Amino acid sequence: MTDVLRARLDPLLECAAVERGPMGNAQEVWFVDASSPGGAERQFVLRRSAGGGALEDSELGLEFAVLGALAERGFPVPRVYFSELDESSLGRPYFVMDRVPGTPLGHISSADRAPVARPEGVAAATRGELARWERVYLRRRPGPVPLLGTLLAWLDVHVPGHDGAPRLLWGDAGPHNILVDGPRITGLLDWELAHVGDPLEDLGAAVWACLPGTLDPDEVVAGYEREAGPVDRERLRYFEAFACATRSVMVVAGVDAFLKGEAGPPAAALGQHLLLANLERAATLIGWARDPGEPPTRPALRPDASETAAGVARYLRERVVPAVSDPRARRELRTAAALLDTVALRAGPELGDGDLALEDAATKAERERSPARAKLRSRLLAGLAAQQTMITPLDDLYRPRG
């Protein structure tokens, strides 16, 4: 790291420490401490592509450019210094920026992309962004997620017809990406999803991110209204459902990365817990209802039991065993991995009840506004209810602690 800092920033800098940050499910975050011969200390953040996972389709080059432009306009964002986006000396694309002080706001209460396009009108911008996420879903899904595919179709049909100019959007607004030091905001982080569109898309994402123990979403909306004027609540509900859908696509992509060995167990866990929670929340927001008499179905949930066991076994062998020094513990971990591999072989793949055909029929009905929509929605929600009964340990894991 010293060679990189000297070549790109200051020939007198000496790297004193490099530590992986606890955050960064989508992109790696590394804390870098450096010093100069005079004793002056400097702290940097190195943000590197994870090489696979939920935001593999985002681009650090865009984030680097947006951060630079925002800093020039006085926004509280870290100063960026340099980037390597193609032939990286660190193996994958990265950039270096200042480390700013502060605590995430949410923790206090408990190939180069072209410049951002400017479509004509916010509705066109929303459709363009939605189409991008649909392409990611179709390319990265390990298998059909019928309720998610149908939700994306519904969102496309019901894009708000608001007449206004598109604005630069953060793309990942929320308390998890805001650093504060006392009453002062010190940093607005993670701009790799920046694009232009309806300003309420960012507000919908911020409301989505107000999980229990963070901020009150009503207070967030009220604060927004004090600065920007009254908010159309129906439009806001649409964009909260929009956030549910796009974040669902992210975790489905994370499952794909887990199955390829590019991500660890958290990607598999969130790919089930957060996916189902998002889909249930979106269905409630847009008013979908399940017929109580609808017979249960069992759509596939990826990773299935066999894939989960094999992936956890791989993680134990490749990541955990090398980090353990005790010989007995290493043997027991290898034994545990072998047992999980055996479970994977014995369990075999799980097949959904015609998932692809159901998704095709439901998305077609939404786009054509067919009378069959209500029945198909009910069937999708019945499948969601059945899936939720199979992941109660994950729900317990992610339940907020008092």
Contact between 222 and 206 under an 8 Å Cβ cutoff? The reply is no
Note the pLDDT tens digit of each residue in 230-279: 999 999 999 999 999 999 999 999 999 999 998 999 999 999 999 999 99
297 three-state secondary structure: coil
pLDDT by residue, tens only, the chain of 402 residues: 888 888 888 888 888 888 887 665 567 888 999 988 877 888 999 988 876 655 555 577 888 888 998 888 888 889 999 988 876 778 788 899 998 887 666 544 333 233 455 556 899 999 999 999 999 999 999 999 999 999 999 999 999 987 788 999 999 999 888 998 888 889 998 888 999 999 999 999 999 999 877 889 999 999 999 999 999 999 999 999 999 999 999 999 999 999 999 899 999 999 999 999 999 999 999 999 999 888 877 778 899 999 999 999 999 999 999 999 999 999 999 999 999 999 999 887 776 668 999 999 999 999 999 999 999 999 999 999 999 998 999 999 988 775
pLDDT tens digits, one per residue of 63-119 = 888 899 888 888 888 999 998 887 677 878 889 999 888 766 654 433 323 345 555
Distance CA 314, CA 263 (A): 11
Q: What pTM was estimated for this model as a whole?
A: 0.83
The rounded distance, in Å, linking the Cα atoms of 310 and 105 is 37
175 Cβ contact list (under 8 Å, min separation 6): 104, 105, 106, 206, 209, 210, 214, 215
pLDDT of residue 9: 86
Residue 375 phi/psi, 5-degree rounding, is: -65, -45
First to last CA, the chain: 41
Nearest Cα neighbor of 46 from 98, 96, 100 is 96
- Which helix (H) or strand (E) segment holds residue 212: the answer is none
